[in-house]
């Protein structure tokens, strides 16, 4: 609901000035027709105050209810109705207040049609202006909402792109390739191939796509091969998956961020060699995949392990299954385990 | 002849620097290190003139390692992380090489260093560190040297900090550790929702506070779970109330 035009000081002043002009004008006209100043002033004040109230009523109503298309007839009827009501009320009030003046009743009676026309015209004007005002307001708000939504969508898109491209991984890999070109060009070539396959996989797959565990593991192997070139013999991985569950399905690209998190956590929290273990199995209706990495309980709180990568996995799982319990982490002694459950039977 | 050390956790990243160094026979590579601990030892042993330093490394970051050295050598950072690229730093560090970089860019960094060497270097690295510790990613822990051992104190284990001349005493359940830093440094770099400067000479971990008692005129004293008492000045009391939402 938009604010009324009277919420703006400038309009409020204009509105009041118009009213004063009308009061003065009507007073002078009545005096010209032979009414004493006092009676003319009271007549004008009563009539115009009631008109003012009617106008305010129309403006406020339009704030909540704006006519669409051919409903303008309704507005016309409301204006007409209000003008008639105004006329009857004014006539009665003026009769009570000023009936004792000589010839007033006749004057009132003669001027009724003029009074009515002016009131109706005025009310129509106010109504039209209000409608224009509220329409414009609404349009502006709609536009703002639209740009806001567009901005949000764009941000989400960018965020997704950034996530997919994983700039740190990419730049570090390029740096490794750069080093290999000089000393071991064959390996450099191989790594370029792996990196390309990996990136293609990232770009090709949609977030909503489901793939078999086998496909996802193949993709993961590409990633691990690259990481192993980067970190040399510091990084060791053990993957243990029963043949029988390799055809189970899971959302694409869900394992790589979990693995990446484990590698970062494991490699940056220990010096020397690190073993990352992946174990997958079936537990009732769920496919579960557990990834373990070592960490040093002395220096890092397990909370640090829930990095940005895991948060985005959690978000995706929530969007897909509307559940927040599918990703869990556990720190036991010096092993940190991340477990993801994927409900089957979809 | 100038002595050089490379500190990077990726072997290939070290080898590329090594390769580029061959064009600079005046620089002698003393050692390659795979993490900050090795780096510290090597720096003490060889007293290098220049180090090539990665930022994200196992256990302690490149910045944290530098903090533990009293007279740090000149530093050229080599990293893929643009977010620390820290345009502000460029003024202080000799250079900041974004991976991957080529021989030409590398040579430029070396030239820059050679030019800077004639002026003061130690000062520049010190300045760099002051700025570096302001970057938010380090606020989760404090790295200190305890004799020959390096201790990483997670921020939540810190009870309170106390100024002691040129040092800051970091009180933990295991006793206190000294670090050659200012109170302002810690006030800036630690999480402001967890650590409050309650007094000119004290910063307290609010999660450790069990009680705040009035003490003399306008002052208060915070009682910690360990029983320790930490002075709270009038303005400190205001800050404390704000953080605790009172």
Lowest-confidence range among A48-57, B23-32, B131-140, B237-246?
B131-140
Query: What is the pairing mode between strands B167-172 and A249-251?
Result: unpaired
Sign of the torsion angle spanned by Cα atoms A15, A21, A22, A27: positive
CB of B134 closer than 8 Å to CB of B189:
yes
Is A171's CB within 8 Å of B98's CB? yes
pLDDT at residue number B136: 46
Q: For residue A308, give the 3-state DSSP assignment.
A: helix
Residue A203's H or E segment, with its range, is: helix A185-204
Locate the domains of chain B by residue range: 2-132, 144-244
pLDDT by residue (tens digit) across B204-231? Answer: 999 999 999 888 877 899 999 998 999 9
Whether the pLDDT of residue B131 is over 70: the answer is no
Return the residue of A nearest to B102 by Cα.
A178
Is B154's CB within 8 Å of A174's CB? no
Mutate which: B12, B61, B103, vs A, most A CBs within 10 A = B12
Nearest CA among B185, B186, B155 for reference residue B172: B155
pLDDT higher for B174 or A306?
B174
End-to-end C-alpha distance for chain A, whole angstroms: 43
Whether the pLDDT of residue B124 is over 70: the answer is no
**The tokens 């938009």 sit on which residue?**
A2
Task: Give the count of alpha carbons within 13 A of A14, CB side only.
Answer: 8
Q: B154: which chain A residues are within 8 Å (Cβ-Cβ)?
A: 299-301
Is B9's CB within 8 Å of A267's CB? yes
Calpha distance B152→A259 (Å, rounded): 26
Q: A174: which chain B residues are within 8 Å (Cβ-Cβ)?
A: 99-100
Return the residue of A nearest to B8 by Cα.
A231
Q: How far lies A2's CA from each of A52, A59, A64, A209, B110, in Å? A: 21, 12, 8, 43, 64
Nearest CA among B62, B130, B53, B64 for reference residue B94: B53
Please state the separation of Cα B4 from the chain's center in Å: 21
128-187 in A: which are within 8 Å (CB) of B?
167-168, 171-172, 174-180, 182-183
pLDDT at residue number B88: 38
Is B58's CB within 8 Å of A180's CB? no
Return the residue of B nearest to A168 by Cα.
B80
- How close is the nearest chain A Cα to the Cα of B117, in Å? 28
CB of A230 closer than 8 Å to CB of A179:
no
Taking the Cβ of residue B157 and every Cβ of chain A, the question of whether any pair is shorter than 8 Å is answered with no
Q: A232: which chain B residues are within 8 Å (Cβ-Cβ)?
A: 10-12
Comparing CB atoms, the residue among A168, A179, A300 nearest residue B12 is A179
CATH code given to domain B144-244: 2.40.50.1020
Domains (ranges, CATH) in chain A?
5-159 (no CATH), 235-343 (3.30.565.10)
Query: What is the pairing mode between strands B2-7 and B50-53?
Result: parallel
Return the residue of A nearest to B10 by Cα.
A231
CB of A93 closer than 8 Å to CB of A44:
no
Tens-level pLDDT at each residue, chain A (346 residues): 567 777 788 888 888 898 899 899 988 988 888 888 888 888 888 889 998 888 888 888 888 877 776 677 877 888 888 889 999 998 888 888 888 887 888 888 888 888 899 888 888 888 888 888 888 888 898 888 888 877 776 666 666 655 656 778 889 999 999 999 988 999 999 999 999 998 888 777 666 678 899 999 999 999 999 999 999 889 999 999 999 999 999 988 889 889 988 988 888 888 888 999 999 999 888 999 999 999 887 766 555 545 667 877 887 788 778 888 999 999 888 899 999 999 987 5
Calpha distance A86→A80 (Å, rounded): 10
- How close is the nearest chain A Cα to the Cα of B140, in Å? 9
- How close is the nearest chain B Cα to the Cα of A176, in Å? 5
Mutate which: A268, A270, A297, A307, vs B, most B CBs within 10 A = A268
Comparing CB atoms, the residue among B10, B58, B98 nearest residue A230 is B10
Residue A9's H or E segment, with its range, is: helix A9-32
Comparing CB atoms, the residue among B58, B98, B156 nearest residue A269 is B58
- How close is the nearest chain B Cα to the Cα of A265, in Å? 9
Nearest CA among B70, B64, B67, B79 for reference residue B109: B79
Question: What is the fold of B2-132?
Answer: Rossmann fold (3.40.50)
Comparing CB atoms, the residue among A179, A268, A300 nearest residue B15 is A179
**The tokens 């016309």 sit on which residue?**
A76
pLDDT higher for A234 or B147?
A234
Q: Average pLDDT, whole number, for chain B?
A: 85
Calpha distance B209→B241 (Å, rounded): 12
Quick one: pLDDT band at residue B126, thresholds 50, 70, 90? low
B11-21 and B103-117 are packed helices; what angle lies between their axes, rounded to 10 degrees?
A: 70
């Amino acid at each position: 609901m938009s604010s009324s035009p009277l919420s703006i000081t400038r309009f409020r002043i204009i509105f009041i000035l118009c009213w004063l002009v009308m009061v003065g004008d009507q007073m002078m006209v009545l005096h010209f027709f032979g009414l004493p100043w006092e009676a003319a002033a009271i007549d004008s004040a009563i009539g115009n105050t009631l008109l003012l109230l009617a106008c305010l009523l129309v403006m406020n109503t339009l704030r909540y209810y704006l006519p669409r298309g051919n409903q303008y007839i309704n507005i016309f009827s409301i204006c007409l109705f209000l003008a008639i009501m105004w006329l009857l009320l004014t006539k009665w009030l003026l009769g009570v207040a000023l009936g004792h003046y000589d010839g007033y009743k006749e004057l009132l009676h003669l001027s009724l049609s003029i009074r009515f026309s002016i009131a109706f015209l005025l009310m129509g004007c106010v109504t039209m202006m209000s409608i224009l005002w509220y329409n414009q307001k609404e349009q502006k708000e709609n536009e703002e909402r639209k740009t806001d939504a567009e901005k949000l969508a764009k941000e989400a898109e960018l965020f997704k792109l950034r996530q997919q491209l994983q700039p740190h991984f990419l730049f570090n890999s390029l740096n490794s390739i750069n080093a290999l070109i000089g000393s071991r060009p064959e390996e450099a070539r191989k790594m370029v191939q792996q990196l390309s396959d990996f990136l293609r996989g990232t770009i090709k797959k949609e977030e909503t796509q489901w793939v078999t565990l086998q496909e996802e593991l193949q993709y993961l192997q590409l990633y691990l091969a690259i990481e192993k070139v980067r970190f040399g013999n510091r990084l060791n991985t053990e993957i243990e998956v029963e043949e029988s569950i390799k055809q189970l399905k899971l959302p694409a690209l869900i394992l790589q961020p979990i693995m990446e998190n484990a590698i970062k956590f494991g490699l940056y929290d220990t010096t020397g060699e690190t073993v990352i273990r992946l174990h997958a199995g079936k537990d009732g209706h769920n496919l579960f995949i557990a990834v373990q990495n070592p960490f040093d309980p002395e220096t890092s709180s397990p909370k640090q392990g829930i990095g940005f990568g895991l948060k985005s996995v959690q978000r995706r799982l929530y969007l897909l299954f509307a559940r927040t319990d599918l990703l869990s982490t556990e720190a036991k002694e010096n092993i940190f385990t991340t477990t993801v459950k994927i409900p089957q039977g979809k | 002849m100038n002595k050089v050390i490379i500190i990077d956790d990726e072997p290939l990243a070290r080898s590329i620097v090594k390769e580029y160094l061959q064009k600079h026979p005046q620089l002698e590579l003393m050692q390659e290190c795979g993490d900050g601990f090795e780096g510290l030892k090597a720096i003490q042993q060889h007293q290098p003139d220049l180090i090539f330093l990665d930022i994200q490394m196992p256990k302690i970051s490149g910045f944290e390692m530098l903090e533990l050295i009293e007279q740090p050598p000149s530093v050229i950072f080599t990293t893929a992380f643009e977010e620390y690229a820290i345009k502000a730093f460029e003024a202080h560090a000799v250079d900041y090489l974004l991976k991957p970089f080529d021989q030409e860019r590398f040579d430029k960094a070396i030239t820059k260093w050679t030019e800077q060497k004639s002026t003061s270097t130690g000062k520049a690295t010190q300045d760099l560190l002051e700025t570096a510790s302001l970057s938010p990613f380090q606020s989760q822990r404090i790295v200190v040297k305890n004799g020959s051992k390096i201790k990483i104190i997670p921020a939540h284990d810190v009870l309170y900090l106390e100024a002691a001349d040129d040092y800051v005493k970091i009180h933990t359940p295991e006793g206190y550790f000294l670090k050659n830093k200012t109170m302002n440094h810690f006030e800036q770099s630690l999480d402001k929702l967890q650590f409050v400067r309650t007094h000119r000479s004290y910063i307290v971990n609010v999660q450790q506070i069990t009680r705040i008692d009035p003490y003399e005129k306008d002052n208060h004293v915070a009682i910690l779970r360990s029983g320790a008492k930490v002075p709270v000045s009038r303005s400190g009391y205001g800050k404390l109330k704000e953080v605790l939402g009172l």
